[in-house]
Structure 1
Amino acid sequence: MMELNDGTDMMKLMMELNDGADMMEQNDRADRMLLNDRANMMELNDRPDMMELNDRTDMMELNDGADMRELNDGADMMELNEGADLMELNDKANMMELNDRVDMMELNEGAGKMEMNDRADMMEVNDRADMMGLNDRADMMELNDRADMMELNDGADLMELNDRAEMMELNDRADMMELNHRADMMELNDRVDTMELNDGPDMMDLNDRAVMMELNDRADMMELNDRAA
């Protein structure tokens, strides 16, 4: 009986142990399912973060391939560790890196704007220099025009002086001709006086000729004076 009881007890004990093992196995299964559910939930939570990181890495890949590899390494580390703390730290690091890049972009934009302003200032300086050069050229042209006008005036004055010299020369020639005519007249008068002593009709003829010559000389003088005027 004791053996039977022992066997029964043993069977009960075995059944209890089996039941306990089943319960533990069920609990383990439940724990594993819970863990799997949590892992799935974390994986689902990780996926939008991974998508966001992938979007960020796509944007960063356009600028730098090295940053893409760094983000992929960080993503692999997060997937292996599946820890919220590591993801948070990585997110903070990524945010700091993105902020640094934004600051760098702002600095680059500021430097670009300063460079554009410098170029604009240089263009303005060049424009002013061009304007000054144009003004200098205009002044030079005006000076040249004035010099040309002075040269023209000098030429006109010189022509006027030449005209006056020619007029004086013509007047001198007229005076010289008048003196010659007077000398001729005096010579004729002397001849007339000499012939007058002979008292003849030739004397009257000579006087008539002398009068005619004087009239002709006066007509020539008037013509010369008209030409000189």
Structure 2
Amino acid sequence: MGNALSRATMADLFQALASAETDPDVRVIVIASTGRIFSAGHDIFEMAPGGDEAATRASQRDVLEDCKTLMLRIMRLDKPVIACVQGVATAGGAQLVSACDLAVAAHSARFCTPGVNFGGFCTTPLIGIGRNIHRKHAMEMALTGDMVSADEALRFGLVNRVVPDDDLVDATEDLAQKIARRGPEGIRHGKAAFYAQAEMPIDDAYILAIDKMIDACACDDAREGLTALQRKEKPIWDRE
């Protein structure tokens, strides 16, 4: 199936993400694909039942554990990750979009969690999707298995922007370049703090955020930013 999240594909993604994370010239990571399908989700041949129930369950668990690790890896990268979505993103493909920090979608893009159409349920994709969008929107997607348009995904909060198909690459590049011009040190710590506090009670979230904000004010990027503001110049972040 088109751009399926097979174990081999996920291994390639792990390797690409690791390479991008350690490359000092990479400030923003974009996940994109070619063809009419952004990602069809899990490889059905890796998830299909087999003759040996115990072996099948173990194999399915391996696939789902790899997928879980990939989604968490994206969220925990110290660089922003943008999904550039054309075509269809289904099941684990929609989950992949939800794991990215930002998402830009072509107007023709479509999203769905179709497990219910085949007698199952997209339980693991809903973990990420349900943390991006309102619970009732997530449940409607999961309970109906219907396709959701790019405009609906924007209204739900699954994507940040919807652009004409021909403008998708340029719009994603513009967003990535804008973020790349910001201070990488602040972004690195700020992204980690945002996801950490999101799962905390509000009192604990404030405790964490106050500490992180004080740390951010003392970092080299903050000093450079304030100095550049006083000089009325653009800050230079290229020390690293």
The normalised TM-score by structure 2 is 0.20
Higher strand fraction: Structure 1 or Structure 2? 2
Higher helix fraction: Structure 1 or Structure 2? 1
Larger Rg: 1
